[in-house]
Structure 1
Amino acid sequence: MAKAEATVEELVSMIERGELRLPEMQRQYVWRSTRVRDLLDSLYRGYPSGAILLWETDEKVALQDFAVSQTTHGYRSTRLLLDGQQRLTSLSAIIRGEPVTVRGRRRPIDILFNLDHPDQLSIVTEVEEHDADDEDTDEDDEAIGDHADSSEDELQKRFDKMTFVVSTRKLEQMPHWVRVSDVFRHDGDKTFLKQAGITGFDDPRYEKYSQRLAKLRGIRKYLYRMDVLERTLSYDEVTEIFVRVNSLGAKLRSSDLALAQITAKWRNSLKVFLDFQSECAKTGFDLELGLHLKNLIAFATGQSRFLTVGSLTLDVLQTAWKQACEGMVFALNFARSNLGIESPALLSSPFLLILIAYLGHARRFELSSSEARQLRHWALVANAKGRFSRGSSETILDQDLATIRSGGTMQDLIDRLRLQFGRLDITPDELEGRNRRSALFKTMFLAFRDAGAKDWRSNLAISLDHSGAQHKLQFHHVFPKAQLKHEYTPREADDIANLAFIGGRTNRAISDKLPLHYFPHLVDQHGMEPFAAQAIPTAPALLDLANYKVFLVERRARIAARLNEFLGTQAETKG
């Protein structure tokens, strides 16, 4: 294995010219903007950033596209990037100032640089930034947003301690924040210094800011070590090296390593997988490729782990993929039509879809009305309780797959749920201390929507797919955090019993008003139904800030009752 070195600038040029390509075995570009921010911060400080692994070959290899554009090259041999794709794609997008293409959608990576950053490194990992202050959401964004009612001044102070941040409209307008891509596109400092209010050499900030801009551009000269695999190696050998290197370093998920092994046997299969992923996305289920691969393995082996993928023959893989696709189509249709789940954002774990896909195929897609009711009950309770999102999720999924494979009934699956959780109804105590990250929060949305919940001003039914910022669904703190922060912890303020679902415009109009002040007007206009649909008590005594904890107790009881009605677990609650 040869050793070499190349600067970031040289590597980016190699990508742009098409000299450096991606083999089919590689995973797609997956980095969030915050990861790019952290990479830039490390390179700016001269921290180590790993090595680059290449393979130069004359062999005809199945390729995939980079997330950034490339020109067609005329090189006789191809340099394939085996390790370093996420870093180099990010740097290419930033330095060239172009968006990345992720799952067929182009999105910018806008990172801002703080000309006035502290000299010492500040650790501010508690700051969570939103990718792009846009109405268009990226695949990592929350399906249900939150209108900030926390202190913007506090957040701004944290940002000011940082050197790089993901761009927001507010920060873009501040004179000492500059867009990183703009700095790379211009070698002169005049524009940026003028923006910062510097008009002459005698300004004490002139030299400091100029040095920092030069240091930022110096990232282009950052030197990466490259390990270059011998030209004589075969594709199968390189695949094995790729899997071993990434297994030892735990850099890739097991699904990424499985993809490398599958594509080594089934050449050009990545396009087949991506085409199906795209078809599912068109129906609202933009699922990770790894989930589809796990579904493939479940159909090929009857279990979900990737341990045996290397021993599967091409014929087995192709047959299982056809069955897996048929099963997944059934699962997505069942989720939408029978469960009311039209987005993966409403799933506590996408493993639920694999189980439904496998069961549908095992039953030849013929379910009696009784089985369909039982499957709905099982799926909603499993989703609400988080069956596949706690403990060893793959072990639990494998147990359920084994139950179906051995001819087990829907009642057997329900009994397994009861064995795991003890009881299948939701108790008020189970809601205590939960927040929007809980699986129960997603089920709350489903149950409230089923009860006819609407926005409190527009009367639009709550939905994940409303267009326009004013109608986009947000979760709302009934008692605003700004009013609670003096007497209660953030955890208490974010309690699931203090959350409701309304549109963005209504949320902003209410702002930090107490419910005792804004509820009466809404009740006069729309009656009690909008609040009853979301299990919100409206007795004036409960809406007083002094009785916040009493309000939470009462609402937990009402939410639990509504959830049990929706899940079909009322009989068990009474029994």
Structure 2
Amino acid sequence: MGTVETTMAPVRNLVDQVAEAQLRLPEIQRAYVWTRTQVRDLLDSLYRGYPVGTVLIWETDEELRSRTVEAPVSTRSSSSSNGGRFLLDGQQRLTSLAKVFVTREVDIRFNIETEEFQVANAAVCSDPRFVPVSDVFQKGAVSVALERDLLSRPDRELILSRLNKLERIADYPVPVHVLKGFDYEEVTDIFVRVNSKGTRLREAELAIARLAFRLPGMVTDELGAFRDRLAIANFDIELRFLVRALTAVATGQSGFRQLAFVPEETLREAWRKTRRALEYFLNLLRQNLGIESADWLPSLNAIVVPVAYLARHDDPREADTVGLLRWFVLASTWQRYAGAAETAMDQDLRALESPEPFRVLEEHLVQAVGRTTVSADDLDDAGSTSSFFLPMFLACRHRGAVDWWTGVRLSSTNLGTDHLLELHHIFPKALVKHRYPKRDVNELANLAFLSRRANAEISAKEPIEYLSQIAEERLTTQFVPLDRELWKVDRFQDFLAARRALLARGINEFLSSLR
């Protein structure tokens, strides 16, 4: 029977164990996800002596897949370990501290006058009141005070006491629970129970933990390695999305809990189909629509149903790829899965049983939003972060849009810095930002896709000055009104209204082509 030993360990001791790989991560653990702001807040809590939680460690002789604490979930970092000490809870905190104490990857500054912690930026770094926290831990409070000539200040005793207090963070005692005599199954259950409290781990990450236990190596050798290959191809897709897609293929539902009831062999076969279907669909997006990276996708959730659909077809010739792409664009445009995602996704996954799945899927969408056609009003105040950004780009591509200066077709993967794709304000910000609302200045109707060089050369010129130098066919492929009166600054609002109408018509024409 397993036992639990509780001790107190100084922060420095735990960080050293992380840095020296004496503490490793079992495959059930997620990757490092903390932001620099969270690291800052952790240091602030330690400085003030606030509780920062416990650390849970598992000691075992079992051979299992593991990785170093700072390594990502991938085959490049995973290995089999013949026992040792494994970190079950506390990874985010200890990794964060290691990035400050040891590697200096995270630069947090301490204000010696206000005792505030700040994430480093240009302003903070140029302010002599802010001291790099990493320097204090690596060199010591006195050395930092001498280097920065802080001991010549009238308040030197107060400043030095604060730096000493900062350095003593390394001695802060943390409660450590050590599990001994537990097997991997018991530890997985403990891990899930510990991390299912509150919001520290999402349901997807708990599903990943259970998957890692049931099928050792699958998370690292299969899902993690596949994710790495996709990232190299500019589709940086999170592990939890792959698990969502796998769940949909294996169970016909989107809820992660269903994955626990799927037999192992069925699960492996479902992953084979998921991987094949996702590769096929991403190639369709790249080659047929011109979507060349995940950056263009408003939501990865819109990919789940297409992957589940393609997984049903061993022969790609049996799949309705045109209907599939139309559905994907519609689902992305109208944010089909923005609200109750699992409810809508389960409804759509059931639609795949129909002889005419895409007709049923569109019916679901019409029931939810009332229509599938885009109006000019939909584009009013819609900016580059709106769901209409993608169909706008696709409509321009459909028209054969090219860069206004070079004539090179629009692509996010053009070679050379001059040809990189950028968003250009047709009415430059400098001309209109003081006369019109910010939402209008940054509206899609005032944006065009141009190369970096073209964008730089236009700079802050008035449209009436530079648009007249561009061939009309290049303007019309990006739905720019040709009425030159609208190119004047005092007609900005009229220009937006005219271009909204042209964009809406172009988007609908593009969608009609996908039939």
* TM range, smaller chain: 0.7 to 0.9
Instruction: State the 4+ residue runs in structure 1 displaced beyond 6 angstroms.
Output: none
Change (3 A) 1:279 1:405: farther
Tell me the secondary structure at the aligned position of residue 257 of structure 2: coil
Where does residue 382 of structure 2 map in the other structure? 434
Change (3 A) 1:436 1:523: closer
- Counterpart CA distance in 1 for 2:38 and 2:273 is 37
How do residues 288-303 of structure 1 correspond to structure 2 at under 5 angstroms? 288-303=238-253
How do residues 354-503 of structure 1 correspond to structure 2 at under 5 angstroms? 354-367=304-317, 371-388=320-337, 390-466=338-414, 471-481=419-429, 484-503=432-451
Where does residue 11 of structure 2 map in the other structure? 8
Where does residue 537 of structure 1 map in the other structure? 481
| Residue 58 (structure 1) shift | 2.4
Q: 1:311 aligns with which of 242, 247, 261?
A: 261
The amino acid across from 2:424 in the alignment is H
Mapped pair 1:247 → 2:200: no
Tell me the secondary structure at the aligned position of residue 413 of structure 2: coil
| Residue 66 (structure 1) shift | 2.5
Where does residue 156 of structure 1 map in the other structure? none
| Residue 72 (structure 1) shift | 13
How do residues 23-422 of structure 1 correspond to structure 2 at under 5 angstroms? 23-67=26-70, 78-97=84-103, 109-113=105-109, 115=111, 118=114, 163-167=117-121, 172=125, 175-177=128-130, 179-187=132-140, 201-204=151-154, 210-229=160-179, 231-271=180-220, 272-367=222-317, 371-388=320-337, 390-422=338-370
Change (3 A) 1:92 1:422: same
Q: Which moved more, 1:259-268 or 1:456-465?
A: 456-465
- Counterpart CA distance in 1 for 2:432 and 2:303 is 39
- Counterpart CA distance in 2 for 1:468 and 1:178 is 39
| Residue 11 (structure 1) shift | 0.9
- Counterpart CA distance in 1 for 2:465 and 2:438 is 28
Number of equivalences:
506
- Counterpart CA distance in 1 for 2:495 and 2:468 is 21
Mapped pair 1:549 → 2:498: no
| Residue 548 (structure 1) shift | 3.5
| Residue 257 (structure 1) shift | 0.2
Post-superposition CA distance 1:104-130 (Å, at most 9, x none): xxxxx34241546645x6xxxxxxxxx
| Residue 432 (structure 1) shift | 1.7
- Counterpart CA distance in 2 for 1:347 and 1:72 is 30
Higher relative contact order structure (alpha carbons within 8 Å, sequence separation ≥ 6): 1
| Residue 423 (structure 1) shift | 1.6
- Counterpart CA distance in 2 for 1:413 and 1:62 is 42
Q: Is the 8 A contact 1:68 1:92 kept in 2?
A: no
| Residue 428 (structure 1) shift | 0.7
| Residue 462 (structure 1) shift | 3.5
- Counterpart CA distance in 2 for 1:509 and 1:206 is 53
- Counterpart CA distance in 1 for 2:406 and 2:172 is 54
- Counterpart CA distance in 2 for 1:276 and 1:174 is 45
Post-superposition CA distance 1:344-381 (Å, at most 9, x none): 22222212322222212223333469x33222222222
- Counterpart CA distance in 1 for 2:66 and 2:280 is 31
The amino acid across from 2:296 in the alignment is L
Change (3 A) 1:465 1:14: same
Q: Is the 8 A contact 1:57 1:79 kept in 2?
A: yes
Q: Which moved more, 1:280-289 or 1:519-528?
A: 519-528
| Residue 560 (structure 1) shift | 0.9
Post-superposition CA distance 1:296-337 (Å, at most 9, x none): 111221111111222222222212112221222222222222
Change (3 A) 1:570 1:279: closer
The amino acid across from 2:107 in the alignment is I
Unaligned regions of 5+ residues in structure 2, if any? Answer: none
Q: Is the 8 A contact 2:446 2:496 kept in 1?
A: yes
Unaligned regions of 5+ residues in structure 1, if any? Answer: 99-108, 122-162
Change (3 A) 1:363 1:519: same
The amino acid across from 1:386 in the alignment is Q
- Counterpart CA distance in 2 for 1:540 and 1:351 is 42
What's the TM-score, normalizing by structure 1? Answer: 0.78
Tell me the secondary structure at the aligned position of residue 18 of structure 1: coil
Q: Is the 8 A contact 2:58 2:87 kept in 1?
A: yes
The amino acid across from 2:174 in the alignment is Y
Q: Which moved more, 1:421-430 or 1:354-363?
A: 354-363
- Counterpart CA distance in 2 for 1:557 and 1:193 is 66
Change (3 A) 1:117 1:188: closer
| Residue 269 (structure 1) shift | 1.7
Change (3 A) 1:366 1:202: closer
Change (3 A) 1:117 1:308: farther
The amino acid across from 2:99 in the alignment is A
Q: Is the 8 A contact 1:331 1:354 kept in 2?
A: no
Q: 1:559 aligns with which of 503, 506, 513?
A: 503
The amino acid across from 2:270 in the alignment is A
Q: Is the 8 A contact 1:425 1:569 kept in 2?
A: no
Q: Is the 8 A contact 2:401 2:409 kept in 1?
A: yes
The amino acid across from 1:412 in the alignment is V
| Residue 261 (structure 1) shift | 1.0
- Counterpart CA distance in 2 for 1:507 and 1:166 is 31
Q: Is the 8 A contact 1:193 1:209 kept in 2?
A: no
Q: Is the 8 A contact 2:325 2:514 kept in 1?
A: no
| Residue 289 (structure 1) shift | 0.8
Tell me the secondary structure at the aligned position of residue 226 of structure 1: strand
Q: Is the 8 A contact 1:68 1:93 kept in 2?
A: no
Q: Is the 8 A contact 2:28 2:209 kept in 1?
A: yes
- Counterpart CA distance in 2 for 1:192 and 1:442 is 53
Post-superposition CA distance 1:149-180 (Å, at most 9, x none): xxxxxxxxxxxxxx312445x75455555544
- Counterpart CA distance in 2 for 1:342 and 1:26 is 31
Q: Is the 8 A contact 2:374 2:508 kept in 1?
A: yes
| Residue 211 (structure 1) shift | 4.8
Change (3 A) 1:89 1:497: same
Tell me the secondary structure at the aligned position of residue 25 of structure 2: strand
Q: Is the 8 A contact 1:52 1:224 kept in 2?
A: yes
Measured on the aligned residues, the alpha-carbon RMSD in Å equals 3.3
- Counterpart CA distance in 1 for 2:157 and 2:437 is 44
Where does residue 146 of structure 1 map in the other structure? none
The amino acid across from 1:308 in the alignment is Q
Q: Which moved more, 1:270-279 or 1:17-26?
A: 270-279
Q: Is the 8 A contact 1:497 1:556 kept in 2?
A: yes
